[in-house]
Structure 1
């Protein structure tokens, strides 16, 4: 659908007023710019005493406005200056202001008599009133209206038509330039987000590659430790080694892929079981994810940074420990995953820093190598601006992170699935 303009959007009214004043002084014509309804948008220049007086009568004033509107519409219909006779018998002309086929208004000029007998009498408005002729003062002002050769009126109309077209083109160019600048800024913003996302993914890939120096050797060692623990009756050690082995396997295989929620939750469960070994009496956790959402896909390592933060920065500093609860639910067409802890919490400034001003140091403090800001950008880039991260936290109360992704993935970015 084509954009609808208003006259003040296309033309700088102050500039038009200045041009209008100089034009009126040079030609002796009265000039005003009106919108498409005939209502003035500039102050009158060189307005005749006769027209001032006649507009004191409400009926005549209405005829004057109608005359301006009619003249402007006729000019728009012809697509060129339109010279006509107003309801009071004075000669006026209208310069149409048309943008992309849309009539915005006109520049009206005239309020004079012409010396020549011209063929515009048939262009006189038929809907007139003569009540003003009963007022001697108005009649006297009518006699003072100047006589100007028709060719001068015609030349003035064509000159103003050229000027009006020029300032309209200039105004349109300014509008289109502003729109282009906005689009460029949006493109730069999107490019920056994509660049940060690529950087985060490459960091994750690099860390995975660094762990792959000899994966077979690594897994063989872990399996040997697990079997040794089993032989020695160290059940907890065996479970921990097994969990760590599965975490590594997940990291090495999935580092550049979209993963199912089921895979992500399995990884998180292994991670939390290991952390519970570290803090046996200080860490509790629960995971409540409905089975019917487990096949929903999300970018690799979406959940891990928030679970790590909950444990390392929320629960660990708290002397008595705490709990981490993870749950998921369908809200409308989206899946919302909540990661809630009752740890030490954060201030509003800390939340803003995490989401908006994260530094390289902050990213390095996450063992995943993927910072929280980058996870947010990654979700927005994949699914759209309405998706991403929301963090609510209170000091000494805890933190809740909400992660929203579409139930039916329609990724805007093609990932290596």
Structure 2
């Protein structure tokens, strides 16, 4: 234990404390805690009264019954208290005493401040080594901490404040005495709002506040990282000094009498009691740490288990979708209307212009169908995807008589990167089917690919009719919910495939202005999360 800024008189007078149930007169105190930690007191418990359940967190106690009769509960075990007998209360025990007789129950109590090494209560290894914590204080169970704090404050008749490393309150302060409230009202920094230097908080420390008042501060560590502090007090170790009382009256004038009354009501403790409080604070600190760490690890394990189950469900759902897609690939990627119109074009060309253009169109269609059937479940290079798109556009231009002007600008490094098959084709098809619908001007389509360090950026832009804002919002919502209608179905399916292969590590964006065209942007990592089996 360290004492900051405190010089105490080695002589101390007996201190008598009064309670509703009786009183304690401390008849022996020890000034040097390093040599001995014994404290002797004379307890008077009035008839019909009981000392409510309290904790002996940092001390053990011997009770010698002088006169009277009573009973005690020690960790829920009952004993009669009879004159001439000695009873022992071990450290970290719950204790309650009651006077069952008609005369005062007189007892001599001997406190021995226990020498347990609190650090041994928590495993030495840092069990957080396998977990990353951006803000360790966030894992503390504040609700449970508040209950522990309130209970300890109630048992010890002391105010308690718990803060994080930045000085912000982690809990609501408990049992703050009137003395501190008056000082705070006068814009003074009491122990509630007093700042601290985190470099000084390495062990439980006693600090001077004011007017011989002390406060005790204990650090809260997670592993080797300081995450907060527990401050307890205020207490007076020795009897109030008349000079201090005069100083209070003189300095506070109007509030002097009120502050003096509050000052005299502060708890008075011996040095041994103070040490017991410190040990209790250390126990409390480690209890907070242990509980918070266990809760954090359990939560992390639950989240990881849920993530694994979710991935398995997503994988199973995608596999079912891919099987269905393979069986219906021609229908889903090129509608029956497209096939019908294409065949009609071939017939017209064969009739009007001979076999050459009909043969070219037929070859393009054949290549399109062959690629669709053989590559439907695979990753292809951007270059292979472009060849497919060119065949598709060739047929569409024959249908619309070169009404679609295409500009393809793909960087060479992008062409070798693999992407899910029919990714760009879906954007191109949507532009032609929806964007160029009822267009009276030249239709323009721009396909662009850029290399961005460990990613590629692909975009398909048209000068079509665009998408009304309300419809664009609906499409975006359908894609997010993984359910869509019309134009949203293909995009929703694509998003599900991208999530499977890339996780959340991709960008999928649709920009559109009604009457001014649409641009679809896709940014993909070069290395995907999942490999194709």
TM-score range, shorter-chain basis?
A: 0.5 to 0.7
Distance 1:61 1:380 in 2: 54
After superposition, residues 68-83 of structure 1 pair within 5 angstroms as 73-75=202-204
2:417 equivalent to 1:296: yes
Structure whose residues are more often strand by fraction: 2
**1:314 touches 1:345 (CA, 8 Å); kept in 2?**
yes
Partner of 2:375: 254
Q: Distance in 2 between matches of 1:147 and 1:163?
A: 22
Q: How much does 1:244 deviate?
A: 1.0
Q: Retained in 1: the 8 A contact 2:217–2:232? A: yes
Q: Matched residues in 2 for 1:277 and 1:67: separation?
A: 79
Q: 1:91·1:113 contact (CA, 8 Å) conserved in 2?
A: yes
Q: Which residue of structure 2 lines up, in the alignment, with residue 401 of structure 1?
A: 520
- Give the TM-score normalised by structure 2: 0.54
Residue from 461, 464, 489 that aligns with 1:343:
464
- Tell me which of 312, 320, 328 is aligned to 2:440: 320
**Displacement after TM superposition at 1:413 (Å):** 1.7
Residue 280 in 1 paired to residue 404 in 2? no
Query: Which residue matches 1:136?
Result: 246
Change (3 A) 1:337 1:158: closer
Structure 1 residue 206 and structure 2 residue 327: aligned? yes
Please, what is the CA RMSD of the aligned residues?
A: 4.9
Q: In 2, distance between residues paired with 1:153 and 1:17?
A: 22
2:498 counterpart (368, 379, 385): 379
1:410 maps to: 527
Cα distance change on mapping 1:401 and 1:50 into 2, 3 Å: closer
SS of residue in 2 equivalent to 1:108? strand
1:377 & 1:39 partners in 2: Cα distance? 43
Give runs of aligned pairs for residues 145-156 of structure 1, distance below 5 A.
Answer: 147-148=268-269, 152-156=273-277
Q: Which of 232, 246, 262 is matched with 1:108 structurally?
A: 232
Q: Evaluate the alpha carbon distance shift between residue 51 and residue 114 of structure 1 in structure 2; reply closer, same or farther with a 3 A threshold.
A: farther
Shift of 1:111: 0.8
Structure 1 counterpart SS, 2:203: helix
| Structure 2, unpaired ranges of 5+ | 1-128, 250-259, 333-342
- Paired position in structure 1 for 2:12: none
The structural deviation recorded for 1:251 is 1.8
TM-score (norm 1): 0.67
Within the candidate set 306, 310, 313, 2:427 is matched to 306
Does the 8 Å contact 1:29/1:46 carry over to 2? yes
Between Structure 1 and Structure 2, how many residues are aligned? 370
Query: Shift of the alpha carbon at 1:248?
Result: 1.8
Q: Shift of residue 271 of structure 1?
A: 1.4
Whole-angstrom distance in 2 between the partners of 1:54 and 1:243: 85
1:244 aligns with 2:336: no
Q: Are the structure 2 counterparts of residues 247 and 187 from structure 1 closer, same or farther at C-alpha, using a change threshold of 3 Å?
A: same
**Is the CA contact (8 Å cut-off) linking 2:475 and 2:484 kept in structure 1?**
no
Contact preservation (8 Å) 2:380, 2:419: yes
Structure with the larger helix share: 1
Contact 1:311/1:324 (<8 A) preserved: no
Contact 1:33-1:106 at 8 Å conserved across structures: yes
Alpha-carbon spacing, 1:144–1:71, altered in 2? closer, same or farther (3 Å): farther
Contact 1:340 1:401 in 2 (8 A): yes
Q: SS of 1:318's equivalent? A: coil
- The 8 Å contact of residues 91 and 114 in structure 1, kept in 2 or not, is answered as no
Q: Classify 1:271/1:168 alpha carbon distance in 2 versus 1 (closer, same or farther; 3 Å).
A: same
Asked whether the 8 Å contact 1:54–1:132 carries over to 2, the reply is no
CA distance in 2, matches of 1:307, 1:50: 72
Q: Matches of 2:371 and 2:168 in 1, distance apart?
A: 71
Shift of 1:187: 5.3
Equivalent-residue separation in structure 1 for 2:176 and 2:483 (angstroms): 67
8 Å CA contact 1:48, 1:111 repeated in 2: no
What CA distance in whole angstroms lies between the structure 2 residues aligned with 1:163 and 1:347? 61
